[in-house]
Amino acid sequence: MKIRSYTALAAALALVAASGCSSTTKSSSQQLVSSKVVSEWSKTINSVGYVTVLPLNEDVRVGDMYAYTSNPEAGQVVGRSANELSLEKGTMRWASVPVIESIKAEYQDRKRFAETPVAGAGNSLMGTETDNDLRNIGFGSVSSITFSGDQVGGLIPTEATDLSANTSWQDAYAVTLRIADADTYGLSLSALLEQMVEVTPEGVLLAQPYRNQLNLLAPHGAQKIYLRVVGEVAYIRAIDIAVQLGPSPEEQEEIDKQQAEAEKKEQKEQKELEKQRQAVAKELERIAKEEAKRAEAEGREPELVMPEMPEAAPEPAPPTYEELEMMREQVIADTIAPFEWARSINESILENQLGTLPEGQLKFISMSEDSVAMRKYFTRPMAFAARGLTLEVEVSTGRVSRMTAMGSPFGNF
């Protein structure tokens, strides 16, 4: 079971990492599992109004402009949905709007709040504001990502194989991802639009020099092109990964068999109890009739006569103080054991330099025979979510014909 825990953890880690494991080529099993995780991951991020940045990327900034030859908000980008800012297919960063000075000006009057005061400190909300563009942000957990062992064979990094042997891939895993530490920064839409467009008598035009480059960017004969401009970016610093191992198909079959046998045994016992109840009721009826006849013959009132019942089993003696103390110590030991196990593994990983990945560090939080919890720290903040605007631009004139929020269909903005 310990070996199963290591492999499950490594599988979850590989799914979340910005880069792959030891190989840069994805197998079909990797693509299958990754698509499932991406779907669940995106749902959580989209639910709070962000689009998902894929893959995780350090170099996604406010003001970045991505060009599309088809409408990204209609889900027509090759291989991606409207709720994803794909950096893989059908997308390229065309330009970056110069927004550094605008961001400085905006955050000059938007100081960061003071840290949450400890009990009795008495700090006010505005007491010790600081200059900092990055602001904390929280997201919910991504849970119920389940996949079977035969789908994760290509996802196990060398860090896991160094810790285990005789690995079995027949288990099923339930994975929960939680963004443990994240920051965000952005620019108001008004300030962003000032840098992007020009208002003229002919209408709203894309600003120079972008307008003059449209013919180079658009396919031959294309009348429109679509531009997504990032107005806010959320960066992840650490992620918690919890993996719960389920039974293998053989184990599940045995569990189902045992449950069926237990139900059959219970039904049999219930039938036997019902027979006994009916027998007791019949015996009581016979005794009552005989007593009624005797009482009538003797000229008295009948008496209620109960049949002899077996004595109940004696109640067990309450546990002694020594037994209670042993039980308490066992509960404490069982509670601490997963964390002690994790500490031991962390020391082993550190000693053997196994915890370093190209983009971060690993740390186990707790480990048991059927579950693993770990935290991955990214060396640098990685963009995982974004907000912004999508512009529909006429290639011939540079006129902005439609505008919507990134990830929303045109007409809903």
Interior angle at CA 200, CA 199 and CA 205, nearest 5: 65
Give the pLDDT mean for 207-212.
Answer: 87
pLDDT tier for residue 392 given thresholds of 50, 70 and 90: very high
Residue linked to tokens 């000006």 = 105
H-state helical runs in 232-372? 249-298, 321-352
Nearest CA among 226, 273, 251 for reference residue 82: 226
pLDDT at 378: 84
Q: Where are the domains of the chain?
A: 2-251+340-405
Q: How far apart are the first and last CA of the chain?
A: 52
pLDDT at 256: 84
Tokens of 346: 């962390």
From 20-29, 48-57, 264-273, the region with the lowest mean pLDDT: 20-29
pLDDT tier for residue 25 given thresholds of 50, 70 and 90: very low
pLDDT at 151: 39
For residue 37, the surrounding DSSP H or E stretch is helix 28-46
Where are any strands of DSSP class E within 69-131? 84-86, 92-96
Q: Is 90 exposed, middle or buried (0-12, 13-18, 19+ CB in 10 A)?
A: middle
Give the pLDDT mean for 146-166.
Answer: 38
pLDDT at 389: 92
Question: Does residue 408 sit in helix, strand or coil?
Answer: coil
pLDDT tier for residue 232 given thresholds of 50, 70 and 90: very high
| Whether the model pTM is above 0.85 | no
User: Does position 193 have pLDDT exceeding 80, yes or no?
Assistant: yes
Nearest CA among 34, 375, 13, 373 for reference residue 161: 13
From 184-193, 291-300, 328-337, 350-359, the region with the lowest mean pLDDT: 350-359
- Pick the most confident of 113-117, 231-235, 373-377: 231-235
pLDDT at 14: 39
User: Does position 171 have pLDDT exceeding 80, yes or no?
Assistant: no
User: Does position 382 have pLDDT exceeding 70, yes or no?
Assistant: yes
From 163-172, 231-240, 367-376, 387-396, the region with the lowest mean pLDDT: 163-172
Determine the Cα–Cα distance for residues 273 and 281; give it in Å rounded to an integer: 12
pLDDT at 331: 83
pLDDT tier for residue 403 given thresholds of 50, 70 and 90: very high
Q: What is the mean pLDDT of the chain?
A: 71
- Pick the most confident of 17-21, 25-29, 367-371: 367-371
Higher pLDDT, 168 or 254: 254
pLDDT at 62: 92
User: Does position 393 have pLDDT exceeding 50, yes or no?
Assistant: yes
- β-bridge pairing 51-57 and 84-86: parallel
pLDDT tier for residue 117 given thresholds of 50, 70 and 90: low
Determine the Cα–Cα distance for residues 238 and 220; give it in Å rounded to an integer: 44
Count of beta carbons in the 10 Å neighbourhood of residue 302: 15
**Model pLDDT for residues 51-100, shown as the tens digit of each residue:** 888 778 888 999 999 988 888 887 534 334 566 666 545 567 888 888 88
User: Does position 303 have pLDDT exceeding 80, yes or no?
Assistant: no
- Check residue 315 and report its DSSP letter: P
H-state helical runs in 136-248? 158-161, 189-196, 214-217
The pLDDT > 70 percentage for the chain reads 62
- Check residue 135 and report its DSSP letter: E
Nearest CA among 360, 388, 382, 358 for reference residue 60: 382
From 6-20, 126-140, 251-265, 357-371, the region with the lowest mean pLDDT: 6-20
Nearest CA among 269, 270, 307 for reference residue 287: 307
- Check residue 411 and report its DSSP letter: T
Higher pLDDT, 233 or 335: 233
